[in-house]
Structure formats: C-alpha cells, structure tokens
Amino acid sequence: MRRVYLDHSATTPVDVEVATLMMTYYTEKYGNPSSVHSFGREAKQALEEARKQVAELIGATPSEVTFTSGGTEADNLAIIGTAEALRKKGKHIITSSIEHHAVLETCEYLEKNGLDLTVIPVDEEGILSVEDVRKAIRPDTILISVMHANNEVGSIQPIAEIGKLAKEHGITFHVDAVQSLGKIPIDVNEMNVDLLTVSSHKIYGPKGVGALYVRKGVRVVPLVHGGGQEKKRRSGTENTPGIIGFGKACQLAGQRMAEDAEHHTKLRDKLINGILQSIDHVKVNGPMGDKRLPNNVNVSIRFVEGESLLLSLDMLGISASSGSACTSGSLDPSHVLLAMGLVHEIAHGSLRFTLGRQNTEEEIDYVLEQLPKIVERLRMMSPLYDQVMHIKEAQ
C-alpha cells in the first residue's frame, strides 16, 4: 500500500547524508570526547564542529550552545535553571497559553513549588499580543518563555518585539524554537533571545538530541549533575553520533531553508485551498500567509471527529495528526485550539498535516482525492450532521 507521510511536525526521517555520517561515529570514531587519546580527540573535534553548525543556524557563537537529550530537556533546563539561578531576584514567570507541554508543564511544576505564573492568552489566529506581555510584567518577573512558532497551528509569534521588551526590563527571555528551526530564519541577537530551545529530529536529524542556546553571561543552574560535560551545564557523556548528526542536519537545513520554504508553501496552499474547495463546513485554524509556518496545515472539519478522520486516512496510507481529545490522551481536545477560542466540538474535528521535503504535489492530490470521501462517509454516520441537513431542508 502506498504511504504518504504528512506528520513532519511530529518527527522527520533522518537525512541519508546525516545517517551515513553518524554511522562512522558509532563504529569507527567511537571515542569519548573527554578522553585524552586520539579516539577521544577525533570525537571531540567532531563534537565542536557540530556545535559550530548549530550555532550558525541560530546566529549564536558555538560556546553558547549546550547539547541536551532533546527539546524537552532543553526547555526544562531553561525554565527550571533560570528559576533557580534567579531565586533571589524574583519568582514570577510569564508564558503563553499555546506553549508545548514541555514548557507549560514545567512552568506549572514551578508554580506548584511556590512560583507565580502568568499565562498570556492568544487571539483567534493563535498569536499573542506584545501589549499583553508588557502588562503582565511585574518587578519580580524573572523569565518570559514564548515559543517561536506553534506546533499545532503553525502561528509565528512576535518574538523580536517581546525580546526587545524583555531586554528593556532586564528579564531573561526563553524561546522554544523547536518547530521554527530550519523553517524560518532565527537570529538570537536580532531577536534579543537569552535562551533558545532547538531539537534535532524535527529537521531530519536523529531523535534524542537537542540543544539549549544560553546567551553569554546568562546563568542557568544545571538539572543533570556529574562529570561536568558541556561546561558543567549538562553532565553525562555526550551523545556524539547524535550530536554530530544534529550538526549536519543544521548545516543542511541552513543551506536548504529558502528552497524548503518555497516547496512547503506551495504544497501547503494547494492543500488548504483544495480542502476548502472540496469540503463544506471547514475552518482553517491558525493564520494564513506569512504568519504561518510554511509546512503547517490545520483545519477543523465540522460534524466529524478527529480520531475517526485519522484512522480513515491511515487505512489509505495517509499519516496526519489531530487535536481531538482521543488523540491527546485526555478528555479535552488540544489546549492550543481551545486557547484560540474554538468550541470543543470544532476542536475535536481538527486535522493537522505537516509537510516535509519529500512530499510531492501528487501526494497532495491523493489526499485531496481521498479526504472528501472520508468526510462524507463519517458525516453520513454523524448525528450532528443530519441535524444540519434537516435544518437546511426545512429552509
């Protein structure tokens, strides 16, 4: 059966060039970068080359990059590490209502332990207002944490403006850039970012690797203690093959960014327009145009439920995701869609397609051919839909 992968915001395949390079560091150049001998030195050298590659993609200097086990750990290190480092300065944190769980849950963990938390709402497009952030600032605010681009609806946040605001007030500014890395330009200096989370497996690198950018002079208290690797910010023998793969993936992403964005935007707009033309009662979630990640499509299809859509698509080989409760593992649908003001039943019917380098126009045609049939079948089963049809008939 043919398979069409449209869930690149969940994870991406590892680029063959990346995987080939990594293999060398598993089987031949397997030294511990902390060792003095030649095996150690060659691993260390490759590790530092990777650090340079990651730094380059975000406009940082290599010494400001700390490797972690992934985006989640980097978010935890940024937030908990700052709260601990600035314990005497204050205890107030500001974040947004559409953050990834790695940020939200970490902030809520700190709140349970006595810190104050302000969660900024977003508008119906999933974008927060800089003014709301300004109003939330208190004399004891120590950290603002806002994502660069949202993982569900692709909304891009006004990071540079918030960065300017944070700088004016002397507040540490953390940005989760897991979804935007490699897709849109990032410059930690232009954006006045102090801490920035990035992850490898969203950009055709391996899973289990990420990094936290820590601006020179900013202190975070480590979460993982031990041998003092990563300038004592993150102990534990470095995942050398993974890190080297991440570095290579960053280099490729930087080289390909414009080309990827053009390809993704073309497919994105084709898919959104095609869905709107072929299915009625559809709402596009998130902004249109430049404020949306080039590879994100998110729609709510009225009167049907997201998991049913996913199962039906999956049976035809199409892989997507949904913000319905059934797929979130809780009774509520996506917190992002709810924060954007969607009512539960519309949030339950949401469907996310996230595009990647290997997707083709022909694959989008296949989705556009199959999806309307699936929706029709599910709507024929739906008691919500026949209420609407009855109303229409009565009119």
Is 326 one of the catalytic residues? yes
Only segment of 7-15, 44-52, 86-94, 304-312 that touches another protein (CB under 8 A): 304-312
Only segment of 53-61, 84-92, 253-261, 376-384 that touches another protein (CB under 8 A): 376-384
Report CA 306 to chain centroid distance, whole Å.
21
Q: Is 305 in the site for another protein (CB under 8 A)?
A: yes
Only segment of 123-131, 260-268, 282-290, 380-388 that touches another protein (CB under 8 A): 380-388
CA distances from 369 to 93, 95, 132, 157 (A): 47, 41, 43, 33
189: left (phi over 0), alpha (psi -120 to 50) or beta: alpha
Size of the site for another protein (CB under 8 A): 24
Residues 325 to 364 in contact with another protein, rule: CB under 8 A? 325-326, 329, 331, 333, 344-345, 348
Q: At 324, list the tokens.
A: 């319905």
Query: Between residues 55 and 279, which has the closer beta carbon with respect to another protein?
Result: 279
CA distances from 94 to 121, 184, 303 (A): 11, 24, 36
Identify whether the C-beta of residue 312 lies closer than 8 Å to the C-beta of residue 377: yes
Query: Between residues 117 and 338, which has the closer beta carbon with respect to another protein?
Result: 338
Q: Is 251 in the site for another protein (CB under 8 A)?
A: no
Q: Is 311 in the site for another protein (CB under 8 A)?
A: yes
Interatomic CA distance for residues 178 and 73, integer angstroms: 12
The helix or strand, by DSSP H or E, that contains position 83, with its residue range, turns out to be helix 71-85
Catalytic hit among 326, 338, 368, 388: 326
* Per-residue binder mask for another protein (CB under 8 A), 252-291, x = binder: ----------------------------------------
Identify whether the C-beta of residue 107 lies closer than 8 Å to the C-beta of residue 83: no
Phi, psi dihedrals of residue 195, rounded to the nearest 5°: -135, 135
Q: Is 389 in the site for another protein (CB under 8 A)?
A: no
Interatomic CA distance for residues 357 and 181, integer angstroms: 14
Q: Is 304 in the site for another protein (CB under 8 A)?
A: yes
Only segment of 109-117, 160-168, 180-188, 300-308 that touches another protein (CB under 8 A): 300-308
Report the interface residues with another protein, using CB under 8 A: 303-308, 311, 315, 324-326, 329, 331, 333, 344-345, 348, 380-386
